[in-house]
Structures are given as C-alpha cells and as structure tokens.
Structure 1
Amino acid sequence: MNNKALLDRSLAAVWHPCTQMKAHETMPLVPIKSGEGVWLHDFEGNRYLDAVSSWWVNLFGHNNPRIKQAISQQLNTLEHVILAGFTHEPVVTLSERLSKLTGLGHCFYASDGASATEIALKMSFHYWRNLGKPNKTRFVSLQNSYHGETLGALSVTDVAIFKDTYAPLLQQSAQVRSPDWRLAEVGESADDYALRCANELDTYLAQHHQEIAAFIVEPLIQCAAGMAMYSPVYLKRAREICDQYQVHLIADEIAVGFGRTGTMFATEQAGIRPDFICLSKGITGGYLPLSVTLTTDMIYQAFYDDSVARGFLHSHSYTGNALACSAALATLDIFETDDILQANRQKTVYLNNKIQMLNDFPIKNLRNLGMVWAFDVQTQDAQFSRRFYERALARGLILRPIGNTVYWMPPYVVSESEMDWMLEQTQALLAMGV
C-alpha cells in the first residue's frame, strides 16, 4: 500500500467530513499509516506534527501504551452490552469519577459531542415540562457559538456556513453578545467587556425568561469562532443571572474540558457549577468515540417517577460502551499519576516566553489559554486558511486555520523541542507572506 493507492480508494468510497469534496481534485488527502506521540506518519516516510490534536481529541499522543493496554484488557472481558436494563464496571466507575470531578450527579452517555448537546437540550426542556412549566421551550446561546451539527445542536449554533443551509429545519433560538475580548472597545478591559455582555444577557432573560429553558455556553473559549477567548467573570455573572430567572446553564465543555484551558474543566476558573456539562473529544484521549452529559441530582429527580412518559427515553445503541469507558478511565488515570495540569502549566510558560517573536509579523490578538494558542493574521486573502494549511502541511506541520485565525492545540505530550519546531515552522510560514 502507498499514499496514492489509499488516496484514490478513499476518494472513491469515503465522503469526508466538513469538506467540499471537489476541492480534493487539487488538494490531495493525506493517507496516514501510523502515529507516535505528536507525530503522524504517511506511507512514504513523511511525518507531520499534529498541532490540532486530530480535531482536538488527542491528549496524550498517538499510540499511547497506557490507553491501549486499558482497551486491550477490557477487550478480553466485555466489549459492549446494552445499557438499558444492564450495567457494567467501567461505566459505573467512570460515572463515579466524573461526578466527583464535576460536582454533578448522574451521567448520560452517547458517542459524540453533538449528541451530548442534544441530550442536555432535551433534558432541560423535559425538566421544565415535568415541573409544569411547558412554556419554557426555547434556548439562548452566544453569538458565533458552535455546539454541533445535529438539528438540535445546530439550532443553538451561530456559525453561518454550518447553519444557513439547514435553517428551515431548525428550531429558532436567540443569541446574545459574545464576550470575546477581541470585540471590546479600545481601552475596555476583558473583564469590563465581559460584564457588559453579561448585562445584555440579564436584559434578555428579564424579558423572556418565562419561555427560556436554558442558556448554553462554551466556557472561556469559543473554538469555532476562531479561538475566541473571554474572561471567566462572564461565566460567574451568567450563573447568577440564570439562577435569578430560573434558566438552566449548560456548559458545553466538549472541546475545552479535560485540561485544555489550564484547569480540568473551564468552569472551575469561574468558581461555578453548571446545571449540565457536556463532555466528549478528549474524554478517551482520542481513542474511541464517547460523550457524556452530567446534570444535577435535582434535575434527575424530576424524571424519577412511576410514569414512563416522565422518564428520559433518549437512547443510543453504543451508550456507555465498555471499551470507550475503559479508555476514558485510563485517560483520567494519566491526569492523576502524571500531574498533567501542572506539567501543562510549565509547557505554557515555556512557549509563552518565546511566542512573542511572532508579533514581528502582520498578526494581531496573540493569545493563550492553557494548551491553546492563537493569533489572527492580517490578510485580505479569501483563500488564506486553505493556502496556509497547504503550506504548513508541506513543512510537516498540521494546522487548520479558522478563517484568518491560526491556532495551536497540540497533544499534552508535546515536548519543548517539538514546541520549538512548531514555532519555527509557523514563523517560516508567516515569513513567506500572507
């Protein structure tokens, strides 16, 4: 097998995600043979530094021996069992550990982030219905938010290229101003701007809370909005506002959970507990599909009844898959035994001491939060993201700019020398002109 043969077969058989397939007439796919650490290898001996963690999922590197071993051991006993009417050790243990980490109660499992969002939205709506408040059927999200591409998740997403085509299929939701500090007025601090945005949420909920079930938010970073970062004071104030108006707060930590923002979960930086938290991506270290929605005991109790119709009758065939749960447990073990959050803080300091040299190029808003770095390139090139991606790939670096925003979100196992190389290659790309 070689790169060309696998490429041709893929184009003939696979409809690739988030892709205009015709683009691959001139921009070839990259057939990958293997991975090790932060590196991916093709069939011709080329290697690529995975600076986007394979769509933000890979935390501890490709071919991680501890996660592989956990899956292998589980494979010898139980691969999967229906979770309706049955249970198993990995899903119980994982649920206990996630509950302890988040301060929330029961876990409801699915396989992907969009499904976790759907579950939270449906649970919130159904909770209010069970409480005799059937008018609370609508949702609020941030401008430029992204919560997934199934119909419910897309209804609270505010990214036009994903949403506009399907608008006739979607439930209407409301969007309030994003606290993205890049949108602040000149001289306005990130905290002050965040509070100004929170006041707009307050105003909206004051007028509409009787019909609003929940406010859903990506804590601290709106990733698909170009790694839009904001102050945790927004989350703190949003929690107070939601409490005041009896509106659920849903924390979509699908992309930012499991240490990505510097704490295990981003909401910790605001000192708050949401009513729902949606988790996926890094939960299995990038090994197997898994997502989970956790909620409070109070919300759980509203479904606990003799009436079947008052129960939450949502389901997925692979809910709580034992192999995926075993990978998630191994991922949590690595966080604990290797003190990952502290190690990441050291890596952040190391790279931040060097990254300022990028300001010599035509960029703005150089920013960092935890293990996410981003900057906005000043360019009028409508094809910038594609061109930058192709040039980076030619240098062995995987970058997927969002519009004119270039970001790094590498696996946590990235070494100092690999970070140096990532920075050097990005410098070289900017020096080529934008």
Structure 2
Amino acid sequence: MSTLFKKLRIHQVFGANTNVGKTILTTSLVRASAQRGKKVFYLKPVSTGPLEDADDNHVNRYTGKYATLISSECLFRFDEPVSPHLAVKMKGADGDAPSDEIFVDSIASRIRHHAKDCSNLAHMYVETAGGVHSPALSGTSQADCYRPLFLPTVLIGDSQLGGISTTISSYESLLLRGYNVDAVVLFRDEYYRNWEYLKPYFAERGIFLETVPPPPPQLANPAEDFLSTDNYYESLVTEDGEIQGIGSVVDHLDTCHVQRLQELESMPRRALDSIWWPFVQHGLVKGGKDVNVIDSAHADFFSVSNKTALEDASSNQSILAPQYDGSASWWTQTFGHAHPSLTMAAAKASGRYGHVMFPQAVHLPALKLAERLIQHGPGKGWASRAFFSDNGSTGMEVAIKMALRAFALRQHPSLKNDEKKELGILGLKGSYHGDTIGAMDACEEGVYTCEWHNAKGFWFDPPTVGIKDGDVSISLPASLTSIPHSESVKAESLTWVYEVENRLHTPLARAYAMYITRALEALKQRGGPTIAALVLEPLLMGAGGMLFVDPLFQRVLIDTVRGRRSGSSSQWSGIPVIFDEVFVGLNRIGMESSGPLLGVFPDISVNAKVLTGGLLPLAVTLTSKSIFEAFLSDNKAEALLHGHSYTAHPIGCEVANETLAMIDKLALSDDWIAAQGRWARDNGQPSSVWSLWDPGFVTAVSKLPQVREVMTMGSVLAIKVQDHAAGYTSQSAQALFNVLNLVPSEDGTLSVAPGGAPFGVHFRTLGDVAYFITSLNTGESVIRSIEDRIWTTLTST
C-alpha cells in the first residue's frame, strides 16, 4: 500500500508514450537531485532488452561527478526488447509472470529498504516502462498495477506530433485512478511546440509543467555518443549551479512532499474544528490521535496516517500505513475501493449525461437497471416496477408510503382520514431502516430515534440464530412462553436452520404461529394501531446488533399476516410485506435476495449499498403490480408524489449496472466455489448458506470463554462478547478488540497487506458485538490474515 516517508521523497515517473524521453528526463531528475546534495535512488522495476540498453544501466553510466550519491537498480530483467508481458512469455515455460501483488510487493520492499538508510532527506525515482497503459508483467495496465503503491507522479509529456493528445489522455487516465500528478515535464521541441498548448491546459488544473531542451542526436561512435550525451546532462547545469528546467521541477517536487506532510499533520485538528461526525460522541474524542486520517483507499485497505511516525522527526517509518476496512465502509464496498471498472462506468455516464430530469423520461442506464432488477435480479418472479431514490433510508420511506397507500385504498371508505394517519407498522425489535423521520417511525423507540419520533406499530422480539461453544442454537425470547423452561433450541446444523420449507411442520413452527396469532389478537383487543404493513430486515438485522433472525420465524410471520401459505399471487393479501434488503441484498450474505430461501416473495423491497459497489449512493424500491396499481388513476393527486432531485441519476445507474455484471461473474469464481465447498454438508452437497469466513475458525472462536456467540453468512462475521451490561452503549466489544487498530511491527508475520506492509484493522462495534465485513471479492489470504489477527487478539486477553 501507499508509503510516505519524512526523509525519503519518492516520485513515480510515467510516460505519455514510448520514446518520449522518459529515461533521459528521469536521469536529469536524478542528477538534479544529486546536484543539490541529495542521496538519490533510481529504481526501474522491469526492464526488457539487452543490458547495455537498459535504463538503469543508462543512469549508472551518466552519474557523472555525482556517482557517490546515486544508486541505480532493476528488479525484473528480460532480454527480449518487447512489452514486459510478452517478454515473460518469450522466456519460456518456466517464465510465468509474477502476479501484480508480488510485483508491487517487490517495489514496496525496496522503498522501505532505502527509507531505513536515510539520515537526511533523500530522493527516489521509480521509472515505469512505456506508456501509462503499457502492460505490466502480468498483462495488467501499469496504471492499475502500480495503483496500490499510490506514489506521487511525474508525467513525461510527448513533445512530438500527436503529443498533445497523448499527454492529455495519459494525464486523464492517471486522474481517473486517483493519482496525484505533481508535475508534467517534456522536451522543448521548437517545431511542434506542444508545450505552448499544454502549459496553460495544465496551469488551469493546478498542475506544474516544465520544459527541458531536447538531447543531441545519437552518434554512431559509442565513445563520441557518450561524450555528447554526458555534455548534454552537464549543460543543463549553469555556472551558478542552477539546473535549467529540471532544477525547478526538483524544487517543486520537494515542495509538494513538504505540503503533503503538513496537510496530513494538520487534518485531525482541522477536522475537530469543523466536522460533526455521524454516530460519534464528540465528547469521547480526546484529540487528534483519535481521528483516523485516510490519505487514500484501494481494494480492501485504507492508507492512513501513522501519527507516531508523523510526530517523530527522526522516524524512518512510513507516515502512512495500510488499514483493513473491516466494516466494508458501512457495508457498502463490493469490490474494494477505487475499482477501475466502476470508476470508468461513472466517468462514462458523467460524460454522456451528467444528471438529467427523470419524471416521465427515460435514459438507458436507468432502463437497463430497472429491467435487470425486475427480470433477472431480486425482483424476479414478483416485481413489476422499480422506483429510484438516493439512499436506503429514503428508499424505505418510499416503500412505506406505497404500502400504507395500498392498504388505505383497500380499506376505503371504512378508514377515516385521521385513522389513516395512525396506521401502524408490524416488525421486529432491533430493526433499523434509516435515520429519516418516516423510517424511524417504522421502528420501536431506541438509541437511533429522536424527539419527533413517533413509533407507530408493534414489534415482536425475534428468536435468533448463533453458534455457541461449537453448536448451532436458536435463542428464544422470554415472550415465547409456549415452549416451557427453554431459552434455546439446539439445531441439527446451520444448514438445517435455513431449510425453511422442511421446518414448517415442526413443533417450533407451530409455537411461532401460536405466539404471533395471540400477540396480534391481544394488540387488537387493547386498541392498538391498525397494522397496515409488515416491514422486515430478512435474515439479518444489522444496526440492531447483527441479529441473525431465525428464518422460520420470519416465514411464519409473513404467512400469518397474509392469512395464507406464501406462494405466487398477483395480489397482495392481508397486509403488504416489505423487505428491507439494503444491507443483506445482492449477495452481502451470500444470496442475491432472501426470498428464495424464505420461500416467500415480498410485495415491496428495497436495495442500496452493494447496488453501486460502494462508489456512490443509489437506492431502488421494487414493487409488485398490485401495489403499483393502488396509485394508478386519472387523478394526479393519487399518484406517488415523492421524488428526489437526483432520482435515477445516470452515473449511479451506470455504476449499478456494472456492479451487477461483475457480481454475476464473481458468483462463478474459484474463490466463491471454494468458500461454498468449505461450508458444504457432510455428504458434500451444497449448503443453503455459506460464508467467506472459514467454518473451522468460526467454530473455534465460538468456544472461547470471552465469546458469547458467533455467527456468519456471506461476507459478514459477528462476534458477541460476554457482557452483563449488553446493549448499544456498551463499550465491551470495542475495548476487547481495540488492539486490532494497531499496526503490527514490521518483523511480525501476521497481517501483511498487498505491498508487503503489516496492517491494522479498522472495525466497528454495536455495543457488545464486533462485526467484520469483507468485500465480495476479498482474497482468501487477506481473510485468513484477519482471522489470525482476531484469534490472536481473543486468545491473548
């Protein structure tokens, strides 16, 4: 991951194309740094072609009088003068390409090695091969391959015919991947004069551009050519010791380095002075050290400020350290941070549409997304319409509006207007549907509600599923008195718990039905609110404490309120059923939708979070035909008068389409197939539920004395600790796992991020519950490292 050192200023050099003078200009930078008395490290990660033509050999040859200050090296060398990915293949059967991870790790290792030797400020230049998108050894574009390092960049522009276009295109490619381009350098060609156009172009974007006189033509005689080239490098240094053009670049790069350090140092205090964080008690934030400064993010990792190294003037440690995003950034990340496919999808729609008005209009990204969700996605088999909004909470408010209107219409004219305003919601204790007022009103009173909150409805205390001391059990609430003297039911297996159809005729199912029926009858007898909709977070209630609800209970509840065994029907019955799948939907828990597992479809459902891969906010409320028809008439006032300025914004829709296409491919990947195999039944048959977390690890953790229970599905792992004062305000889980935030020492063997650096783990807690969520494509090695860290933490306390 990204590295930044006080005493080692590092810049990566990209070229706008081949033959733009990248090595000549990098050599000039190296000599300019040495002229200023700096120790200089030059690194050419991969070189192709004869040794005598190698770029690192060129730098060594032309160190001039600065030889003692300059060190040059190459990591991967190939004899054939072709693209690196071809050079690997041409090496033969034993020449398999190193993976991008190994390649990046090798570069990061050399950077750390050099940083340890710096007693004063030194400079380092990492020169790439060819153009920005030239293939790396694996065939991956260099722009993507080098991205985990996130090194500040110097772009060598193209001074020849067509160079304006290639230079701007290369800059935009780097910009789309988040690179900081600190400077653009190119030869001052007096015929094409590209710099005259490029200088104001980059100046408008705040990018420093400098030109350098072109080198002399190559001479046939090697000795004469060497002398001519050496004189060229020497000519760049004037009598007063200043270096023409290149000297100003070096000074600018030093300034950029200092400014970045100063900015990282100042950000915590500036944040404390200006930002009001969500879900944070500012009275518990003791100072800048409690602020997590995120410099960048890539894949599953943040790159965060190492405050100890930042404050220590003599430190040779990196100012930045990798930190695993253990909550998938509030459950949103699907393919990790800054995935180039999602970035390109966003750029495509932004360039084509920006944002456009949506009422009574259509654009292709929204149409394709609606059709995909209805015909092939979570709405398959029951949904007929898709309503767009901007986040999960507002998507749920839309769903509640739809359900209440449909119910009121069916009961009309028996319901008076003031009675319609008091319609109630049926749900489960611990539910959470967002922080807007209407979504809060659909939950019982709790820590998330506010003064305007007016809980409208009734909430059942649900039975939950967990693994305790190695055994799967169903914990029953005290209100389920129809099962005397029993607080839990031991399950045959996790698979058995989620085979809902097979459990419908069990005594527990009958007990659930009796409990639900009696509770609803009692509510009616005491004059409770008229229940107009059932709102559920299927299978897993997130913010309420990562509660894995017994799926049988939810199925029986749905069947009861509908007054029939669930199945396909063109009309909703009883009361409308809403599935809040903002958290669990689209494979977060290993399935696209919970309906097939429960054996029942909702009348309305909401998807968000995973929908756009975590890149930007978008929500879709899916609804059945009969719900839609409740609003269908010739009267404008009877329409669904609800909307958002950014309804169906094309950028979000395009990113969502790309996300869903990538998930479809991921479902067939070797990693998912392997994970599903680990959770297979004893006879090898697929299980109805599976997880990216290892079953042996989950079982072992459940047996530890400080752990009350563990549960996992898909990418989610929840660990409930032993705590007599359990609840959202408890600090027990945070205190127990706090050590995970710390970065292990570099000589440790656990938790090594891509790039070879040890990493900390950023995680969130819900009172006595610590939860960890991966992206859907998190690599097995990373997950095993997280498991090792969790295990070490729990067994060391």
Shift of the 397–128 alpha-carbon distance from structure 1 to 2, 3 Å rule, reads same
Which position in structure 2 is the counterpart of 1:429?
793
Shift of the 388–322 alpha-carbon distance from structure 1 to 2, 3 Å rule, reads farther
Q: Which amino acid in the other structure matches residue 278 of structure 2?
A: P
Question: Aligned pair 1:411/2:755, yes or no?
Answer: no
Question: Aligned pair 1:369/2:713, yes or no?
Answer: yes
Contact map agreement 1:74 1:326 (CA 8 A) in 2: yes
More moved, 187-196 vs 121-130: 187-196
Summarize the alignment of residues 332-347 of structure 1 with structure 2, pairs less than 5 Å apart: 332-339=660-667, 343-344=671-672, 346-347=674-675
The alpha carbon displacement at 1:88 in A equals 0.9
Summarize the alignment of residues 35-434 of structure 1 with structure 2, pairs less than 5 Å apart: 35-43=297-305, 44-100=319-375, 101=377, 102-103=379-380, 104-133=383-412, 134=415, 135=419, 137-158=423-444, 160-163=446-449, 165-166=450-451, 168-181=452-465, 183-184=475-476, 185-186=486-487, 188-189=489-490, 196-206=511-521, 208=524, 211-244=530-563, 246-339=574-667, 343-344=671-672, 346-347=674-675, 349=678, 351-358=694-701, 359-379=703-723, 382-388=730-736, 390-395=738-743, 396-433=760-797
Per the alignment, in what secondary structure is the counterpart of residue 765 of structure 2? Answer: coil
Per the alignment, in what secondary structure is the counterpart of residue 401 of structure 1? Answer: strand
Q: Which amino acid in the other structure matches residue 353 of structure 1?
A: G
Shift of the 196–39 alpha-carbon distance from structure 1 to 2, 3 Å rule, reads farther
Contact map agreement 2:427 2:443 (CA 8 A) in 1: yes
Equivalents in 1 of 2:369, 2:391: separation in Å? Answer: 17
The alpha carbon displacement at 1:41 in A equals 0.6
The alpha carbon displacement at 1:205 in A equals 3.9
Q: Which amino acid in the other structure matches residue 448 of structure 2?
A: F
Equivalents in 2 of 1:179, 1:186: separation in Å? Answer: 10
Question: Aligned pair 1:4/2:368, yes or no?
Answer: no
Per the alignment, in what secondary structure is the counterpart of residue 655 of structure 2? Answer: helix
Q: Which has the higher helix share?
A: 1
Q: Which amino acid in the other structure matches residue 425 of structure 1?
A: R
Equivalents in 1 of 2:774, 2:532: separation in Å? Answer: 36
Higher RCO by CA contacts (8 Å cutoff, separation 6 or greater): 1
Per the alignment, in what secondary structure is the counterpart of residue 216 of structure 1? Answer: strand
More moved, 365-374 vs 311-320: 365-374
Equivalents in 2 of 1:217, 1:91: separation in Å? Answer: 27
The alpha carbon displacement at 1:81 in A equals 0.9
Per the alignment, in what secondary structure is the counterpart of residue 76 of structure 1? Answer: helix
Shift of the 389–72 alpha-carbon distance from structure 1 to 2, 3 Å rule, reads farther
Which position in structure 2 is the counterpart of 1:34?
296
Computing the radius of gyration over CA atoms, which structure comes out larger, 1 or 2?
Answer: 2
The alpha carbon displacement at 1:432 in A equals 4.0
Contact map agreement 2:389 2:644 (CA 8 A) in 1: yes
Equivalents in 2 of 1:139, 1:201: separation in Å? Answer: 15
Q: Which amino acid in the other structure matches residue 29 of structure 1?
A: V
Q: Residues 180-218 of structure 1: CA distance to partner in whole angstroms, max 9, x if unpaired? A: 235323452466657644543333445649921101011
Equivalents in 1 of 2:514, 2:742: separation in Å? Answer: 47
Equivalents in 1 of 2:445, 2:695: separation in Å? Answer: 30
Question: Aligned pair 1:25/2:286, yes or no?
Answer: yes
Equivalents in 2 of 1:159, 1:262: separation in Å? Answer: 31
Q: Which amino acid in the other structure matches residue 410 of structure 1?
A: T
The alpha carbon displacement at 1:345 in A equals 5.6
Contact map agreement 2:589 2:714 (CA 8 A) in 1: yes
The alpha carbon displacement at 1:159 in A equals 6.2
Shift of the 34–193 alpha-carbon distance from structure 1 to 2, 3 Å rule, reads farther
- When normalised by structure 1's length, the TM-score is 0.92
Contact map agreement 1:179 1:197 (CA 8 A) in 2: no
Per the alignment, in what secondary structure is the counterpart of residue 543 of structure 2? Answer: helix
Contact map agreement 1:177 1:200 (CA 8 A) in 2: no
Equivalents in 2 of 1:323, 1:317: separation in Å? Answer: 14
Q: Which amino acid in the other structure matches residue 782 of structure 2?
A: E
Equivalents in 2 of 1:384, 1:345: separation in Å? Answer: 36
Structure 1 unmatched runs, 5+: none
Equivalents in 1 of 2:638, 2:295: separation in Å? Answer: 49
More moved, 30-39 vs 224-233: 224-233
Shift of the 317–199 alpha-carbon distance from structure 1 to 2, 3 Å rule, reads farther
Shift of the 159–426 alpha-carbon distance from structure 1 to 2, 3 Å rule, reads farther
More moved, 296-305 vs 16-25: 16-25
The alpha carbon displacement at 1:393 in A equals 1.4
Q: Residues 101-135 of structure 1: CA distance to partner in whole angstroms, max 9, x if unpaired? A: 22312111111111111111111111223334345
Equivalents in 1 of 2:649, 2:370: separation in Å? Answer: 12
The alpha carbon displacement at 1:343 in A equals 4.1
Q: Which amino acid in the other structure matches residue 225 of structure 1?
A: G
- When normalised by structure 2's length, the TM-score is 0.51
Shift of the 8–389 alpha-carbon distance from structure 1 to 2, 3 Å rule, reads farther
Equivalents in 2 of 1:237, 1:319: separation in Å? Answer: 36
